[in-house]
């Protein structure tokens, strides 16, 4: 049983007592009659060949409240696209697969680019953006759920808990972020534990409190890839296409909606998925690449909020962050000890050293180009520039899926 403490400026929905999956699914099914739900799955074909996607498909086949699944398949050949279709056919309700590497979808990207709009590089952010467009084009759902496809511990209770706060009309939430413990025989989630939280609190120590920093610090797992939102949010929120996706998406939620209508929910007792290598010596790979992109996203969001960053500030930030992160290691070492978990203090310290370097690299990039890479435009702007784009997208997906 988790605690029931409310902290920060958003609502936290805990896992208390012994929640009934049957009760949750029954209520959601009733609510979905007036608020239909679509599940968006950004997937690599490699995930169909591993243990995660077969388990997810098995669990999703039991779900009875979804209007539709929209899966965006990336890095797949035409033959692999057909294999993925065959596997998803085990689900006994509508499933649409967007073939991201196909010619028809390629033409959608080209059409957007020809009209002067930046859609970014291939990756999860662009896939999610495309899926949102298709859901909007279908005009069948009021609620969108999204989760990753590499979850090795997947259970459909995750789906039910994630969408319940948004689909329940009595609660008035427009966005719900999932959170969970990344724990096996040791703690994982180094970027959240040792970078994001100490960095946010270090900026607060140097610059003072700010509503966006308080908002970000209210999330127990800000880098979680699982969330649920109203479909209208997909029309107005822009999307980062790089590793700054999660933080950048939260920044858009903060920009467009009141924190009173935002919540987070405990969705899993255990959560296991693939782990990225640290790649401390290569800023273009692994956690180093992720860390640099996340830091750039935070700096650019704060700059848009009126923060003035200088070289001197970033030097002070590196020192302050290092102190906060080292103090954080001590806290997690004690937490691991009382729970009998493996804890390698040297590896934790190496991660903090790498993250300190990543903050400096991100600061240098930011100072050289404060605007940076533009976010993928929201669908309201895209449809304004290209009024026929949604119908083009719907036709392309339907033709590929025949």
- Residues 77-81: contacts with CB within 8 Å, 24+ apart? 77/45, 77/101, 78/102, 80/45, 80/48, 81/45, 81/400
CATH fold, domain 11-394, is Spore Coat Polysaccharide Biosynthesis Protein SpsA; Chain A (3.90.550)
Which two structure tokens, joined as six digits, stand for 280?
């401390």
Structure tokens at 141: 């759902």
Asked if residue 268 has pLDDT above 90, the reply is: no
Q: Please state whether the predicted TM-score (pTM) of the whole model is above 0.75.
A: yes
pLDDT at 101 over 90: yes
State mean pLDDT over 172-198.
Answer: 92
Average pLDDT over residues 96-113: 96
| Confidence check: pLDDT of 35 > 70 | yes
Beta bridge partners of 183: 187
Domain-by-domain residue ranges, the chain?
Answer: 11-394
% of the chain residues with pLDDT over 90 = 81
Triad 151, 157, 163: Cα angle to 5°: 95
**What does the pLDDT read at residue 269?**
78
Which of 111-125, 134-148, 352-366 is least confident?
A: 111-125
Mean pLDDT is lowest, of 119-123, 138-142, 308-312, 324-328, for 119-123
Q: What backbone phi and psi angles, to 5 degrees, belong to 273?
A: -145, -175
> How confident is the model at residue 58, as a pLDDT?
97
Q: Are 131 and 125 in contact (CB under 8 A)?
A: no
pLDDT at 48 over 70: yes
Alpha carbons 131 and 129: distance in angstroms, whole number: 5
Mean pLDDT (the chain, rounded): 93
pLDDT at 17 over 80: yes
Count of residues making up the chain: 402
Mean pLDDT of 149-169: 95
Q: How confident is the model at residue 275 (pLDDT cuts 50, 70, 90)?
A: low
């Amino acid at each position: 049983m988790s605690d029931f403490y409310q902290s920060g400026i958003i609502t936290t929905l805990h896992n208390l007592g012994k929640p009934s999956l049957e009760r949750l699914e029954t209520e959601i099914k009733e609510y979905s009659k007036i608020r239909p739900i679509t599940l968006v799955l950004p997937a690599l074909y490699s995930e169909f060949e591993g243990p995660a996607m077969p388990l997810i498909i098995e669990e999703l086949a039991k779900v009875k409240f979804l209007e539709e699944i929209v899966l965006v398949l990336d890095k797949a050949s035409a033959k692999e696209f057909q294999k993925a279709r065959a596997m998803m056919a085990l689900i006994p309700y509508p499933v649409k697969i967007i073939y991201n590497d196909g010619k028809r979808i390629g033409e959608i990207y080209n059409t957007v680019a020809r009209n002067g709009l930046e859609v970014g590089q291939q990756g999860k952010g662009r896939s999610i953006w495309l899926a949102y467009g298709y859901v909007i084009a279908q005009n069948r759902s009021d609620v969108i759920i999204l989760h990753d496809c590499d979850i090795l511990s997947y259970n459909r209770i995750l789906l039910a808990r994630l969408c319940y706060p948004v689909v329940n009309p009595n609660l008035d939430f427009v966005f719900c972020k999932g959170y969970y413990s990344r724990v096996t025989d040791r703690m994982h989630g180094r970027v959240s534990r040792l970078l994001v939280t100490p960095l946010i609190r270090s900026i607060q120590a140097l610059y003072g409190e700010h509503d966006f920093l308080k908002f970000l610090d209210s999330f127990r797992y800000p880098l979680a890839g699982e969330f649920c939102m109203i479909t209208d949010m997909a029309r107005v929120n822009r999307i980062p296409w790089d590793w700054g996706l999660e933080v950048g998406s939260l920044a858009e939620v903060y920009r467009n909606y009141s924190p009173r209508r935002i919540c987070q929910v405990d969705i899993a007792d255990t959560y296991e998925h693939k782990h990225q290598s640290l790649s401390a010596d290569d800023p273009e790979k692994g956690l180093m690449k992720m860390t640099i992109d996340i830091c750039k996203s935070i700096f650019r969001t704060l700059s848009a909020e009126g923060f003035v960053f200088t070289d001197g500030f970033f030097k002070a930030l590196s020192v302050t962050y290092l102190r906060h992160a080292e103090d954080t290691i001590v806290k997690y070492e004690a937490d691991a000890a009382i729970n009998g978990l493996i804890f390698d203090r040297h590896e934790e310290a190496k991660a903090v050293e790498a993250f300190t370097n990543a903050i400096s690299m991100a600061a240098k990039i930011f100072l050289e180009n404060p605007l940076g890479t533009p976010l993928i435009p929201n669908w309201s702007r895209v449809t304004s520039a290209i009024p026929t784009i949604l119908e083009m997208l719907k036709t392309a997906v339907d033709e590929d899926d025949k």
